[in-house]
Every structure is written in C-alpha cells, then in structure tokens.
C-alpha cells in the first residue's frame, strides 16, 4: 500500500496549483501551457484518488497553527470531485477556451478552502477566492449585492473567530469544536456563513451578479469547492444532534425552499446559460437537506454531490462547446443544435437524466436514499424535496428542448459538428461512472463511511 504519511503532503495540491497560477499571471498562457495545467488537474485527481482509496490520511504538520491544512475523508472526497469534475469538463473543450490566470487562482483558492482545517485558514482561502471577482466588481462599480453580501459574511466570519478565540478554540480543528461552543449567536453566524457560501435562500442574491458574468468553468471552480458543505460537515454536523430542533427545521426547510426557488427562477428565465446555472444551483441546494437528516440521507447526499459535480460540469462543458461554435445569440425559441451535434445532444440528455433522477442514472438512487432518510424525522419536508425534484426535472427538459431541439435558426449552416469518439471520451467515462452508480450503487455507498 502506498504510504503518504509525510507531514508536508498536505501542501502538495496547493503548491501544484498556486505555482502555475503565479507563473500565468506574469507570462502569457499558450495552448500548450493550458494543456499542461489541465494535465496537472488530472494528476491531482489521481493523487486524491490514491489517498481516498487507500485511506492514508496523514497527520498535519501545521496542526494548531494559523495555517492548518489537512486531509480527512470529506476534504479528500471533495478534492477528488473538484479535480475530477474540472478535468472532465475542461479537457474535451480545451481547444475552445482560454484559461485566464484568474481561473488558476480560483482553482488554487478552491483547493485551499477544501483542505482548510481551522477557521483562520478557511477564512484566508475563502477571502482569497471570493476577492478575485470582487476586484473586478469594484473596478467597474457593478455587482453591488455580491460585494455587500460577501462583506457581511466576512464580518460574520470575524465574529465567529472572535467567539472561538474567546473560548480558546481559534486554532482548534473545526471537527473538534465542542458542542458547548455552539450557542445561539454562534449557530446563527455559522448559518449565515454556510448558507451564503452555498448560495442558499435568503443569502443567495450574490449568485445573480456572478451568473452570466463569469465563464462556466470559473463559476464551477467557485461552486465545486462546496465551501458551505465543508463548513457544515466539519463545523456543525458533529454536534448537530445537540442543537435545537427549530434550528434544524430552519436549515432543512430553507435548503428545500432554495431548491424550489432556483428551479422556478430557471423556469422563468429566458437565457439558457443562466437556466443551466440555476438548475445546477437548485440541485446543489438539495445537498444540505440530506446532510442534516440522518446517516442514511447523508450518504445519499455525498453520492448526490458526486453526481452533480460530474454531471453538472459536463453539462456546462457541452453547452460551452456548442455555444463556442455557434455563438447562440440570435433570439430564438429553439436553437435545434441536435441537428449539428447529435451525439453531444444525446450525452447532454443523458447527463441531465442522471441529475434529475431518471431511473438507471445515479440521481435516482440518491433521491430514494435522501427522501427515505428525510422521512424518518421530517415527513412533510420530504414531500417538499419531492416537489423540488419534480420542478428540477421540468427545468432540465426546458433547457434541453431550447438548446438542442426544435427548428434551428441557423439555416445557412449544414453538417455534423460532433466531437469525435476520442474527444468525448472523458464525457463517456463520466457517464459510465454515473450509470454504474445508478446500476450498482452498493459499490459506491459502501465506500462512504464516516
């Protein structure tokens, strides 16, 4: 078995990503350099996979210091999904995109958030990653909600650290915070931070400023870090059973309501790129529901995280590829892209089905497990979850029909522009993975043990 017990192993992902990001900000990024960076993402994916499957979680060299990064099961799992999803989404379309230095900093900051083990380190990387778009917003004087909401969260973070410092817990790993620390003010502060970081109602408005403004991969790099989930799992979950019932109901109902909100927002939206993003966030909102219910539902949520990370990024990627070739800017009820991309249309449809819970796809199993888990304690909220899933399905079909079906407004263009089998291989592998989760869920559910 491979030994990864060197105390400095934790900073390998950070060095691997910050290094190219710094180099890119000083030198022009060519296509070959871009391939190299994507290759690094692939290597990091393998790196996390080795740690995840060998269960070799080393002791941190920086524990109880201001800068504390560490591998534990959740951070390695999210790191694995983070690198894997970005690689799957970006590699097939690498010729059609130009990765900016900002993107590389997003990735590096994201990995920092994922590996952070205490509050100061988390705040450091979170601020770093969220400050990148803020710099642009401040320069242009736009994105006011993004700026103010993040300032609010930043203040909440400082207050939380103040409370932690007062109790002598500032440098303590987040998972080791005692239940006595979570008084009502601390719970409320954590609630604001978690829900804002995850884009959940009522702290969701900042997402509007980002959607449609950042390229899909930069947006994904922000959302795939699952900052809210990480904080929730590490900070709140260990002691959640000691928290008041009303707090749990508040958390659960808001995450379900949030999914309903994003689904309806997507249904009413005209812009297809925004529609897809709303679908993605609506699904992500449901992650917190399962986490809070019980162990059964939590397992379902981890699987759900896997599904929406892989399938969501692939959906964005296919959409980005099609949009790059056609520049879908003409106002039209339908774009009819299936005429030009029959296989990509099929893959888009299949990935979507995997997300919205069509049987034989992964999400069906997830739905079953999460709803069953929810019902044990919160039957009425379980019904809300079902409604949210139904709306999600409708939203996906609206997106699919708008982009791929119907008469194409590009009558002058003829031909089949599909990717070759080799080019779409990462998508196919990702789909096979999702299909395997759907057909043989036990193989995956068995590995989620913590």
Partner 1 sequence: MANSFFTLLIFTPLLWMGLLAGVYFTRIKLSEQHLSNALRFYSLYMVTLALGLAVLTFLHRPSFLLIDFADWFAVGDYQFKLRFIVDLLGATYALLATALVGVIFRFSRNYLHREAGYFRFVFLLSTLLFGLIVVSFSRSIDLLFIGWELVGTTSVLLISYFYDKSQPVVHATKAIISYRLCDMGILAGAAWAHHYLHTTDFVIIPTLLDHGHGGAGLVFIGLFITWASLAKAGQLPMCSWLPAAMEGPTPSSAIFYGALSVHLGPFLLLRFYDYFAHFPVLLVLVGLIGGLSAVYATLVGRTRSDAKTMLAYATISQVGLIYIEIALGFTGFALFHMVTHASLRTYQFLRSSSLIQDFYENPVVEHNRTIHRRFSFERFFSPAVRQRVYVHALHGFHLDYFTGRLIAGFLYPMRVYLQWEARWLEFDTRLLKLLLRKK
Q: What angle do CA 55, 428, 14 make, to 5 degrees?
A: 40
Does 403 sit near partner 1 (CB under 8 A)? no
Between CA 20 and CA 40 the distance in angstroms is 9
**Shortest Å, Cβ 333 to partner 1:** 7
Does 339 sit near partner 1 (CB under 8 A)? yes
Stretch that binds partner 1, among 8-16, 35-43, 173-181, 296-304 (CB under 8 A): 296-304
- Backbone torsion region of residue 378, taken as left when φ is above 0, otherwise alpha when ψ lies between -120 and 50, otherwise beta: beta
Pick the closer one to partner 1 by CB: 61 or 405: 405
Q: How many residues bind partner 1 (CB under 8 A)?
A: 66
**Shortest Å, Cβ 205 to partner 1:** 6
Q: What x-and-dash track marks residues 208-237 binding partner 1 by CB under 8 A?
A: xx----------------------------
Does 333 sit near partner 1 (CB under 8 A)? yes
Pick the closer one to partner 1 by CB: 24 or 289: 289
Q: What x-and-dash track marks residues 342-371 binding partner 1 by CB under 8 A?
A: -x--x--x---x---xxxx---xx-xxx-x
Does 408 sit near partner 1 (CB under 8 A)? yes
Stretch that binds partner 1, among 113-121, 166-174, 310-318, 381-389 (CB under 8 A): 381-389
- Backbone torsion region of residue 419, taken as left when φ is above 0, otherwise alpha when ψ lies between -120 and 50, otherwise beta: beta
| Token representation of residue 102 | 């900002």
Does 253 sit near partner 1 (CB under 8 A)? no
Stretch that binds partner 1, among 90-98, 201-209, 249-257, 278-286 (CB under 8 A): 201-209
Positions 39 through 58 that interact with partner 1 (CB under 8 A): none
Q: What x-and-dash track marks residues 139-168 binding partner 1 by CB under 8 A?
A: --xxxxx-xx--------------------
Identify the residue among 200, 299, 309, 319 touching partner 1 (CB under 8 A).
299
Q: How far is CA 281 from the centre of its chain?
A: 9
Angle 425-439/295-326 helices, nearest 10 degrees? 150
Peptide bond into 202 cis (omega under 30): yes
Identify the residue among 334, 409, 418, 423 touching partner 1 (CB under 8 A).
334
Does 137 sit near partner 1 (CB under 8 A)? yes
How far CA 330 is from CA of 27, 127, 278, 335, in Å, comes to 36, 38, 21, 9
| Token representation of residue 29 | 């990024």
**Shortest Å, Cβ 386 to partner 1:** 5
**Shortest Å, Cβ 332 to partner 1:** 10
Identify the residue among 94, 372, 409, 410 touching partner 1 (CB under 8 A).
372
Positions 254 through 273 that interact with partner 1 (CB under 8 A): 261, 264-265, 268
Q: Answer whether 333's CB lies under 8 Å from 402's CB.
A: yes
Q: Answer whether 225's CB lies under 8 Å from 286's CB.
A: no
Does 407 sit near partner 1 (CB under 8 A)? yes
Pick the closer one to partner 1 by CB: 228 or 266: 266
Binding residues for partner 1, per CB under 8 A? 137-138, 141-145, 147-148, 205, 208-209, 261, 264-265, 268, 294-296, 299-300, 333-334, 336, 338-339, 343, 346, 349, 353, 357-360, 364-365, 367-369, 371-373, 375, 379, 382-383, 386-387, 389-391, 393-394, 397-398, 401, 404-408, 421, 428, 441-442, 445
């Amino acid at each position: 078995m491979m030994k990864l017990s060197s105390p400095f192993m934790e900073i390998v992902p950070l060095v691997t990503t910050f290094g190219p990001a710094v180099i890119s900000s000083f030198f022009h990024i060519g296509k070959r350099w871009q391939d190299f960076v994507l290759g690094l993402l692939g290597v990091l994916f393998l790196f996390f996979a080795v740690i995840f499957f060998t269960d070799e979680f080393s002791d941190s060299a920086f524990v109880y210091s201001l800068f504390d990064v560490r591998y534990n099961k959740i951070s390695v799992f999210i790191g694995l999904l983070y690198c894997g999803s970005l690689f799957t989404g970006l590699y097939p379309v690498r010729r059609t995109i130009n990765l900016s230095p900002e993107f590389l900093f997003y990735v590096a900051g994201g990995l920092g958030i994922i590996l952070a083990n205490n509050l100061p380190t988390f705040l450091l990387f979170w601020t770093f990653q969220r400050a990148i778009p803020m710099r642009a917003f401040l320069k242009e004087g736009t994105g006011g909600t993004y700026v103010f909401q993040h300032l609010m969260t930043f203040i909440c973070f400082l207050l939380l650290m103040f409370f932690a410092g007062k109790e002598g817990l500032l440098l303590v790993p987040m998972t080791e915070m005692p239940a006595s620390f979570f008084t009502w003010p601390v719970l409320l502060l954590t609630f604001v931070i978690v829900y804002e970081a995850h884009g959940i109602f009522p702290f969701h408005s900042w997402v509007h400023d980002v959607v449609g403004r950042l390229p899909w991969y930069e947006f994904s790099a922000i959302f795939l870090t699952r900052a809210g989930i990480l904080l929730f799992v590490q900070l709140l979950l260990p002691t959640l059973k000691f928290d008041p019932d009303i707090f749990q109901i508040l958390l659960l109902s808001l995450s379900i309501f949030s999914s309903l909100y994003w689904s309806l927002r997507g249904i009413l939206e005209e812009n297809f790129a925004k529609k897809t993003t709303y679908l993605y966030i609506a699904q992500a909102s449901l992650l917190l529901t399962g986490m809070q219910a019980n162990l059964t539902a939590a397992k379902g949520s981890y699987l759900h995280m896997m599904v929406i990370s892989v399938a969501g990024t692939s959906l964005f990627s296919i959409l980005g590829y099609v949009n790059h070739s056609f520049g879908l800017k003409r106002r039209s009820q339908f774009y009819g892209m299936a005429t030009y991309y029959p296989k990509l249309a099929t893959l888009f449809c299949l990935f979507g089905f995997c997300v919205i819970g069509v049987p034989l796809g992964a999400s069906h199993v997830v739905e079953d497990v999460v709803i069953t888990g929810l019902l044990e304690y919160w039957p009425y909220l379980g019904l809300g979850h079902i409604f949210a899933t139904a709306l999600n399905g409708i939203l996906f079909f609206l997106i699919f029909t708008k982009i791929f079906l119907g008469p194409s407004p590009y009558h002058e263009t003829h031909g089949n522009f599909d990717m070759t089998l080799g080019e779409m291989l990462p998508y196919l592998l990702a789909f096979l993975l999702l299909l395997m989760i759907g057909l043989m869920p036990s193989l995956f559910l068995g590995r989620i043990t913590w």
